[in-house]
């Protein structure tokens, strides 16, 4: 095409297709100000906190951000990757990105990752991809189940950046994959393999999903139903009865009612019911993070054992494992159909 350009026309990069993996986000450090910046961005998102801004702004800025950064910073410090000086979420998401890029090598596809909150920001990465010649970009929110608080807000941030671009690339968004047979098979096999590595047989296995206010469900968010369907399909795949594979919800915040049953309350109650050996996983997460490593693998274990439990195991997310990346590659190739 260059021979048709007028004299002195700026050199344009070669056209290519882009794939942008989107995840929730992470602070840049465990110190007060790093965590405060992250929490302020996260908790200022109207899709995450739907309380009237006139009410929420003073609560967030004068109350929550005065004390919560210290508590969250301590939690992050428990799981921080000190060698890389990054949170596990950023480390793992980068590994997923590098693995996918290697798998798609030779097809002129640019693979990047961005965070909805924190760095690398969605805007900066989209601008980088557009400048590199990506005229078609697939957005891949790494959330198996759809929620306005996760998938939608990740896409929102991308759309905000695209809205200011003079030359927008064409964009697709990958759908939720909570009931994809390949995903269920991959997750089910990870459960089998995780249990096979243990020195005990769990009485029950818990699928712990990130929580959400009940009011969001009532307003039409499909997340709750999709979580239950994921676990139901896992039971079918594993051939387990309903009482063997439970559904709970974690990470509630504030005084409002959240989706139940609560993970922490369930773990505290099970030993009293004779359930002394438990394994738990977090199917709402594609990569291990503070909610899985600190809240569940550490805090959940402490609560269960203190209540009289005898054996506790956390089964990791799919992360950048070969089976996990096999699924992400297959899903991305499917969604790129017609572009490559």
CB within 8 A of 118, min separation 6: which ones?
A: 25, 26, 27, 28, 37, 38, 41
Residues 62-77 have a mean pLDDT of 96
For residue 1, pLDDT over 60 is answered with no
> For residue 2, what pLDDT is reported?
52
Residues 140-151 have a mean pLDDT of 98
For residue 10, pLDDT over 90 is answered with no
Measured CA to CA, the distance from residue 320 to residue 19 in angstroms comes to 16
Question: What does the block give as tokens for 9?
Answer: 């026309």
> For residue 108, what pLDDT is reported?
87
For residue 7, pLDDT over 80 is answered with no
For residue 9, pLDDT over 80 is answered with no
Binding residues for Fe(2+) are 210, 291
Q: Say what percent of the chain tops pLDDT 70.
A: 97
| Region of residue 304 (left: phi > 0; alpha: psi -120 to 50; beta: else) | alpha
Residues 238-264 have a mean pLDDT of 96
For residue 67, pLDDT over 80 is answered with yes
Measured CA to CA, the distance from residue 305 to residue 312 in angstroms comes to 8
Give the pairing type, strands 109-118 and 16-26.
parallel
- Per-residue pLDDT of 214-223, as tens digits, reads 999 999 999 9
Average pLDDT value for the chain: 95
For residue 6, pLDDT over 80 is answered with no
Binding residues are 210, 291
pLDDT tier at 4, thresholds 50, 70, 90: low
Find the helix packing angle between 223-238 and 181-196, rounded to 10°: 60
> Can you list the domains of the chain with their CATH numbers?
16-177+323-335 (3.40.50.1400), 181-314 (3.40.50.1400)
- Per-residue pLDDT of 252-287, as tens digits, reads 988 899 999 999 999 999 999 999 999 999 999 999
- Residue 109 neighbours by CB distance under 10 Å: 22
Among residues 127, 159, 128, the alpha carbon closest in space to that of 141 is found at 159
Q: How far is CA 39 from CA 27, 32, 43, 153, in A?
A: 8, 10, 6, 15
> For residue 315, what pLDDT is reported?
98
Measured CA to CA, the distance from residue 128 to residue 132 in angstroms comes to 6
pTM above 0.85, yes or no: yes
> For residue 5, what pLDDT is reported?
61
Measured CA to CA, the distance from residue 252 to residue 303 in angstroms comes to 16
């Amino acid at each position: 095409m260059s021979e048709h350009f007028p004299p002195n026309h700026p050199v344009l990069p070669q056209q290519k297709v882009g794939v942008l993996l989107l995840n929730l986000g992470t602070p840049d450090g465990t110190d007060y100000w790093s965590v405060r910046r992250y929490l302020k961005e996260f908790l200022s998102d109207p899709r995450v906190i739907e309380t009237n801004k006139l009410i929420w702004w003073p609560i967030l800025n004068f109350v929550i951000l005065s004390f919560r950064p210290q508590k969250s910073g301590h939690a992050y410090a428990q799981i921080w990757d000190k060698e890389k000086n990054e949170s596990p979420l950023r480390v793992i998401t980068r590994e997923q990105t590098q693995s996918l890029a290697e798998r798609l090598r030779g097809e002129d596809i640019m693979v990047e990752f961005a965070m909805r909150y924190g760095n690398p920001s969605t805007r900066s990465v989209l601008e980088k991809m557009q400048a590199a010649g990506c005229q078609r970009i697939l957005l891949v929110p790494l959330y198996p189940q759809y929620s306005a608080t996760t998938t939608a807000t990740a896409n929102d941030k991308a759309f905000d950046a695209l809205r200011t671009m003079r030359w927008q690339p064409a964009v697709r968004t990958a759908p939720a994959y909570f009931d994809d047979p390949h995903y269920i098979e991959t997750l089910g096999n990870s459960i089998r393999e995780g249990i096979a590595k243990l020195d005990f047989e769990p009485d029950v296995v818990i699928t712990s999903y990130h929580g959400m206010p009940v009011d969001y469900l009532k307003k039409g968010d499909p997340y709750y139903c999709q979580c239950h369907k994921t676990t139901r399909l896992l039971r079918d795949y594993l051939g387990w009865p309903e009482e063997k594979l439970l559904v709970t919800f974690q990470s509630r915040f504030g005084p409002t009612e959240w989706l139940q049953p609560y993970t922490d309350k369930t773990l505290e109650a099970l030993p009293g019911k004779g359930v002394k050996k438990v394994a738990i996983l977090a199917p709402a997460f594609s990569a291990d993070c503070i909610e899985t490593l600190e809240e569940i693998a550490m805090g959940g274990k402490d609560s269960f054992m203190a209540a009289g439990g005898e054996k506790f195991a956390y089964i990791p997310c799919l992360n950048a494992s070969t089976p996990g990346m096999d699924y992400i590659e297959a899903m991305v190739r499917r969604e790129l159909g017609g572009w490559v």
